[in-house]
Copies of this chain bind each other. A is one copy, B any other.
Amino acid sequence: MISKKFEKKLERYRSIINETIFQELESRRPKSLYEPIIYFLKGGGKRLRGILLLLVVESLSKKPPKNFLQQAIAIELLHNFTLIHDDIMDNSVKRHNKPTLHVKYDLSTAILSGDVLLSIAYEFLMKNLQVNKPQVIEEFTRALTIVCEGQALDKEFELRKNVTINDYFEMISKKTGALIESICRIGALLTLAERKVIKELGKFGLYLGIAFQLQDDLLDLTGEVKKFGKPKGNDLVEGKKTYIILKALQTARGKHVNEIRKLIEKKGIKPEQVDDFIDMLENLGIFDDTKKEIDKYFNLARESLQNISNSKNLNNLYQFAHKVLNRDF
């Protein structure tokens, strides 16, 4: 379903986002502030969020998507600000197989790099912003606040023993879903789309974000796609309360309950226990449950698109959803 043409489009959008970002950052001083950011951004990243914004405006407007490049970059910089600070909070030492910013440089540099990246995100958001200015800035800021709240919940869950599946969905809706929701809404606002389109595209983004996070949790264990720089079952070793673990706790009976409780209460298992634990989850049918849940949110996202009429080319957004959910069929 994902055409070569579409793949090439993504590649083109990625290139132009990167070129413009680096052109901007390389001229800035002091070097001690901007070099670490360039290091971080050159380390990798698919720029999927910036690309999504360009796909949304392309679907809704006859104007060239390049007209909205500055806003796509704003989204990417906001996302990378969260990554830099999350890496500190999560004690992550590698990203894309390279040392994280606070490891490569130091804590102060990583904090300040994130801060200024957020400021530059707002600079880009304002550039060449022609319509719905206050609405776009409010939407962007709303997403930023909610993403911080989602990260706070995620950190809170590390310390709490009683996290429910509902709690988990609230957390990923905020930490991962809200930004993708806002990207779609901002794309709609930038093209003066009507109320209903803004709403449905927002729902598309939110559901896609939830499906994407569930997929991410699943890939950590089933490893159908190699996650850069993280060994298989990393979430189990860290004792993360993902949907998979919470669903397993709900489903399991007898001795399995104790094993899962132990993972939660002792905050993780040993790397050598990972394979047995994955077998248990498989036997409990949790991976199938998770795939069903991903399907559910994927279908909700698709229905939101179907509720929109008069869109020039929503096929781009379908393809994007397939692409990020690794559904190459």
Q: Which of A52-83 contact B (CB under 8 A)?
A: none
A153 in the interface, Cβ–Cβ < 8 Å? yes
Do residues B32 and A155 form an inter-chain contact, with CB atoms below 8 A?
A: yes
- Inter-chain CA distance A156–B114, complex, in Å, is 17
A148 in the interface, Cβ–Cβ < 8 Å? yes
Do residues B85 and A148 form an inter-chain contact, with CB atoms below 8 A?
A: no
A149 in the interface, Cβ–Cβ < 8 Å? yes
A141 in the interface, Cβ–Cβ < 8 Å? yes
A284 in the interface, Cβ–Cβ < 8 Å? no
A226 in the interface, Cβ–Cβ < 8 Å? no
A111 in the interface, Cβ–Cβ < 8 Å? yes
Which B residues lie within 8 Å of A153 (CB)?
A: 30, 32
Which of B30, B108, B129, B145 touches A88 (beta carbons < 8 Å)? B108
A21 in the interface, Cβ–Cβ < 8 Å? no
Do residues B156 and A144 form an inter-chain contact, with CB atoms below 8 A?
A: no
Smallest CB-CB separation from A156: which chain B residue? B32
- Inter-chain CA distance A230–B33, complex, in Å, is 28
Do residues A85 and B156 form an inter-chain contact, with CB atoms below 8 A?
A: no
Do residues B133 and A120 form an inter-chain contact, with CB atoms below 8 A?
A: no
Do residues A112 and B152 form an inter-chain contact, with CB atoms below 8 A?
A: yes
Task: Tell me the minimal C-beta distance from A38 to chain B in angstroms.
Answer: 14
Do residues B115 and A148 form an inter-chain contact, with CB atoms below 8 A?
A: yes
Smallest CB-CB separation from A146: which chain B residue? B119
Task: Tell me the minimal C-beta distance from A214 to chain B in angstroms.
Answer: 22
Which B residues lie within 8 Å of A108 (CB)?
A: 88-89, 155
Which B residues lie within 8 Å of A148 (CB)?
A: 33, 112, 115-116, 119
Do residues B112 and A30 form an inter-chain contact, with CB atoms below 8 A?
A: no
Instruction: Return 23 A-B CB contacts under 8 Å, by A number.
Output: A30-B156, A32-B153, A32-B156, A33-B148, A33-B149, A85-B111, A88-B107, A89-B107, A89-B108, A107-B107, A112-B148, A112-B152, A115-B118, A116-B145, A118-B118, A119-B141, A119-B145, A120-B145, A122-B141, A122-B144, A123-B138, A123-B142, A129-B134
Residue numbers of A with Cβ under 8 A of B are 29-30, 32-33, 85, 88-89, 107-109, 111-112, 114-116, 118-120, 122-123, 126, 129, 133-134, 137-138, 141-142, 144-145, 148-149, 151-153, 155-156
